[in-house]
Structure 1
Amino acid sequence: MAVSNRLKNQHLLWRAGFGPMAENAAALDTVSSKDLWKLLEKTSAKKPDKIEVAQNLADGLYKGIMDVAQMQNPETKREQQKKRREQSRDDLKNLNILWLEEMINSEAQLREKMSLFWHGHFACRVINSYFQQELLQIIRENALGNFKDLLIAVSKSPSMLQFLNNQQNKKKKPNENFAREVMELFTMGRGNYTENDVKEAARAFTGWGYNLSGEFEFRKNQHDTNSKTVLGKTGNFDGDDVLNLLLEQKQTAKFITKKIYKYFVNEKVDDEKVEWLSSRFYKNDYDIKKLMEDIFTADWFYEEKNIGTKIKSPIELLAGIRRLLPMEMENDQSQLLFQKTLGQILFYPPNVAGWAGGKTWIDSSSLMLRLRIPQILTANDVMDIQPKADDDVQMGMMEAGAKKLKDAVKGGTAKTDWELVAKIFEQTPREKLLQKITATVLQTKAHVSDTLLEKYLNNASRENFTKSAIVNLMSTPEYQLC
């Protein structure tokens, strides 16, 4: 297919952000991709406001620790600890919802999309809401900055030091967990270092920890001051030295670039492109924004083989629906339930390697729910004009999580601003309306035939036609791709 200007721009918005927004979707036919990229850069340039759910660690944790320390009654101590964990979990839910809203509504689309990528790259699962909040701010502030700064700041964050057990890393009794993951997952990738490199690096990271105020602290008396040999170099290295040694390796630039290519361009890696990009990333001293510019302004990025080939993550799916269909949410819990049932809860990665992505997002049960989400969200307005569910297609089964979800959000979960959506298509003549809606909603060449689709659409009015066309198209397997 000839790649239209609209398709190119939507491709850029889906990959460098969370898809087109109702307010700007109409303009995508005429603006150039280069100008759109400049706009994405500009709107993501300023420092992000902090998303805050916990004021400070002193109130939330330190006083709690002091109180607990003074308590002799083990039962009271257990009760206090339980309450603190519950409060942190509630705060994490709020942090999740607030960040998701930022992804949907912020004009800094590029920054938030890059932040979501780094959130998976630096996967961290701790229940402490203050630690997670501070780590998220580090990621959002450095998402388009310098990878070196980002790596050092994340490595020194109490959240990561706790998650990877470096608080327990002391001289004569080194804990290798942190050093291993820094090499395997954050910088070089497996197979590019030896077990001895991990052992020696772990000694260099001894003494790295955090204090009761939740700040990084280097505890000199717990640091191994003897000589270490890491990646062929010998010296009295500390943690900063090891991170610098890792950044000196061209393999680190290659590992990061390849991961970014798979996430933003195509799961099928073009080794030649990655070689070129990583070489420039290394020469540009790990400038993340320049790397993304190299990708998003390249002609090859807009080739047909890269468009509509990526399976949307649950967060991309939810954010994308809500950007094109502006909604006033009536039930925030539904957002968390969707994430849980679809397998991507912000701040709860499945393991230290983060979410695998790609085809792992889809199985028979999650696909069933994915196809239902547009209808569940817009039920107040559009559910009455949907065709009856055919149980043969459902195979007599409804995924348990989806049933629970449906019960939780019964009666619709959002109020959609359909007037704003209608404005996208106000210049489109009626006979071309379905074609234009399809081109706006889907990124794929293949889709349900117009003839078949027409059978399920509400022709009572132009507005009803538009509503039913969008919701039905969003409920197809093709909408799962971007």
Structure 2
Amino acid sequence: MAYLDTYSGNWTAAEANHLLRRASFGCSQDTLTEALELGLTGTISKLFEAQPMPEPPLKYELDGTERDEVYDPEVNYGETWVNAAPYPILPTQQATNKAIRARNRSLYAWTFIQMQESGISIREKLTLFWHNHFVSVNTNPHREFYYINTLRENALGNFKELTKKITIDPNMLVYLSGNQNTNSAPNENYARELLELFTLGKGAAVGNGDYTNYTEDDIVAIAKILTGWRVKSLLDPDTLTPFFSNFNHSKGSKTLSHRFNNAVIEENGADEYKDLIDVIFQQEECSKFIIRQIYKWFVNSEITDDIEVNVITPLAKILRDNDYEIAPALKVILASDHFFESTFCMIKNPIDLMLSVTKSLLFDGPSTTIKEQYDYALVLYSACFDLNQDIFHHPDVAGWKAYYQAPLFYKSWVNSFLLPKRLDYCRIIVTGGDLVIDDITYTIPPLIPVLTIVSKIENATDPNVLIRSLSNLLFNYEVSEEQITSLKEFLIPGLPDFEWTVEYSEYLADSTNITLVVAVDKKLRNLLSIMVQMSEFQIM
């Protein structure tokens, strides 16, 4: 059986769960039911369906003039700030800074809302993948929004064309000094990362300044090719539109090394960077490099010689044959025998972990006011930030260590400091309590509708059936009889099974009785809070 043969085994809840958790964020009972009905082929098709772009982030904090309040009069509550001036001119610098930080918070919360509400779609998972691949850090929310929207618009599209767009993205030009790259002072920052992190990888050193995939002379030449691109001041209304300054561009042809077959990039003004990227993407290693990154993100961190030959190489050929359209190769790996054999080998990153709790346990966020919805999403963002996955602010240009740093890879998400926090955050989402993050206390109500969840389980009066059904929702495998016995101690400590049968039956017969409601809710919440802290919930 070939690694990339289409999976032909049984399509059960375990397989559907595995696919949905890896290719999207979490898996609810509703999405699981839909995937089971669609089958593997139908679920893959739905994951890759084109989606309309989401409405832009909104101003969700009310204006005020007190010390701790925000004053951003250019934007009304409930309207987007994206079309306002990127740098608001307010009476004081402090007020301006507060308004910008409020827009930052809105963007970060909005990004979590998109992931929370993504359903059976791979787009948001891919957007996060590209965000970790084309790392670009800034503090201006307008530039950040423009950048992340470019990734979202092109997430399922063409890797080569996305590379061209990102190369002159204002956020990236500022982050990697592209806007300072001139003919009189070429800056090599972006040229180096374009090759080493974004397209080819460095490869082993084979000589002085000569690596498997490029040379130091290529960095020098490429820096000159990329000269002339500029970003206007934040005070300029066109700051989000990059522009080309021919005056600052290095003239004449540039010759690349033997690693690129001594390709010559002719003088071509504003389009010269496109010619360069076309040459880079002619290298076969470019397709293998990005497939390895995709493999680490969706399948496994370990790439053996066997995987290189039987998975990476054929997928890279599919990518090249489709002129770097990303979807065809992704569909093959996600539908393959190898993918469905690659289970329980990935520790959930913090975002996957938090959304596994909320989506598996039917909490979509408050639906009352914009402020409550955004405040809730900001708590999820803050928790992930505290667990070392801070969107928009990677630790460095290489991205999160879990996807590149051997030998730990995914294990970098857990250590003696982070693991207790991971477990506690999962528990608090179920039970409620205080989250203390960066000296700020967030009081979280019990968010999970435990009674609603259990109402969907047939024969939930049997504690064994109840626990097994909940474990099928939360974990990717059947729990053992010993685990069921242990978990019953958190539902009905020291009591025989019939005690739960009687209590839950009485609740079903009189579900308006507050005493019964509170007692059953407490027991279920206690059980679920333990289950989301189990090691089985931390992996996927």
How does the TM-score come out when normalised to structure 2? 0.76
Between 455-464 and 471-480, the greater mean CA deviation after superposition? 455-464
What residue is the counterpart of 1:196 in the other structure?
217
Aligned residue for 1:109, secondary structure, equals: coil
Please give the residue correspondences for 1:288-327 in structure 2 after superposition, counting only pairs within 5 Å.
Answer: 288-303=326-341, 306-327=342-363
Matched, 1:52 2:82: no
Mark the CA change 1:181 to 1:25 in structure 2 (over 3 Å): closer, same or farther.
Answer: same
Contact map agreement 2:29 2:473 (CA 8 A) in 1? no
In the TM superposition, residue 189 of structure 1 has moved relative to its aligned partner by: 0.8
Task: Letter of the 1:48 partner, please give it.
Answer: M
Question: 1:113 aligned to 2:125?
Answer: yes
For structure 2, which runs of at least 5 residues remain unmatched after alignment? 1-8, 59-79, 204-212, 367-371, 403-409, 493-499, 506-519
TM-superposed CA distance for 1:162, in Å, is: 0.3
Partner in structure 1 of residue 273 of structure 2: 239
Is the Cα–Cα contact under 8 Å of residues 347 and 411 in structure 2 kept in the other structure? Answer: yes
TM superposition shift of 1:404: 4.8
- Distance in 2, matches of 1:427 and 1:9, equals 23
Contact 2:231 2:241 in 1 (8 A): yes
Cα offset for 1:60?
A: 2.7
Residue 96 of structure 1: CA displacement? 1.0
Counterpart selection for 1:223 from 249, 272, 279: 249
The 1:470–1:30 alpha-carbon spacing in structure 2 relative to 1, beyond 3 Å, is farther
Distance in 2 separating the partners of 1:264 and 1:146: 18
Q: How many angstroms does 1:35 deviate by?
A: 2.1
Residue 154 of structure 1 pairs with residue 159 of structure 2: no
Same amino acid, percent of matched pairs = 26
The corresponding residue for 1:452 is 486
**Which of 302, 308, 311 pairs up with 1:271?**
308
**Structure 1 position 441, deviation (Å):** 0.6
AA paired with 2:14?
Answer: L
Give the corresponding residue for 2:423: 371
1:353 CA drift (Å): 0.9
Q: Is the 8 A contact 2:348 2:538 kept in 1?
A: yes
Alpha carbons of structure 1 residues 29 and 267: separation in structure 2 relative to 1, 3 Å: same
1:39 counterpart (46, 51, 63)? 46
**Aligned equivalents of 2:218, 2:34: Cα separation in 1:** 53
Matches within 5 A, 1:42-441: 42=49, 45-52=50-57, 55=81, 59-61=85-87, 64=89, 80=93, 83-107=95-119, 109-191=121-203, 192-211=213-232, 212=236, 213=238, 214-230=240-256, 231=260, 232-237=262-267, 238-269=272-303, 270-272=307-309, 273-303=311-341, 306-327=342-363, 328-329=365-366, 331-332=375-376, 333-357=378-402, 358-380=410-432, 404=437, 408-410=441-443, 412-426=444-458, 430=462, 431-441=464-474
Q: Which amino acid aligns with 1:117?
A: F
Deviation at 1:426, TM superposition (A): 3.0
Stretches of structure 1 that go unaligned for 5 or more consecutive residues are 68-75, 384-400
Alignment correspondent of 2:69: none
For residue 398 of structure 1, what is the aligned residue in structure 2?
Answer: none
Larger deviation: 121-130 or 84-93?
84-93
User: After alignment, is 206-215 or 115-124 more displaced?
Assistant: 206-215
Deviations along 1:119-148, one digit per CA (max 9) or x if unpaired, are 111111100110000011111110001112
Deviates more, 1:9-18 or 1:293-302: 293-302
Q: Is the alpha carbon distance of 1:114 and 1:367 closer, same or farther for their aligned partners in structure 2, counting shifts above 3 Å? A: same
CA distance in 2, matches of 1:406, 1:474: 25
- How many residue pairs were aligned? 443
SS in 2 for 1:124: coil
- Of 23, 28, 31, the residue aligned with 1:16 is 23
**Higher Cα Rg: structure 1 or 2?**
2
Pair 202,294 (structure 1): closer, same or farther in 2 beyond 3 Å: same
Query: Is the 2:123–2:155 contact (alpha carbons within 8 Å) kept by the matching residues of 1?
Result: yes
| Aligned counterparts of 2:150 and 2:82: Cα–Cα separation in 1 | 16
Distance (Å, rounded) in 1 between the aligned partners of 2:265 and 2:33: 60
TM-score by length of 1: 0.85
RMSD (Å) for aligned C-alpha atoms: 2.7
Q: Contact between 1:188 and 1:251, CA under 8 Å: does it hold in 2?
A: yes
Distance 1:405 1:373, change over 3 A: farther
User: 1:341·1:402 contact (CA, 8 Å) conserved in 2?
Assistant: no
Q: 1:428 to 1:301 in 2, by over 3 A?
A: farther
CA distance, structure 2, for counterparts of residue 298 and residue 4 of structure 1: 13
* Residues 246 and 361 of structure 1, relative CA distance in 2, 3 Å threshold: same
For 2:459 and 2:334, how far apart are their aligned partners in 1? 29
Structure 1 contact 225–236 (Cα < 8 Å) conserved: no
Q: Secondary structure of the residue that 1:275 maps to in structure 2?
A: helix
Query: Are the equivalent residues in 2 in contact too, given 1:371–1:477 (CA < 8 A)?
Result: no
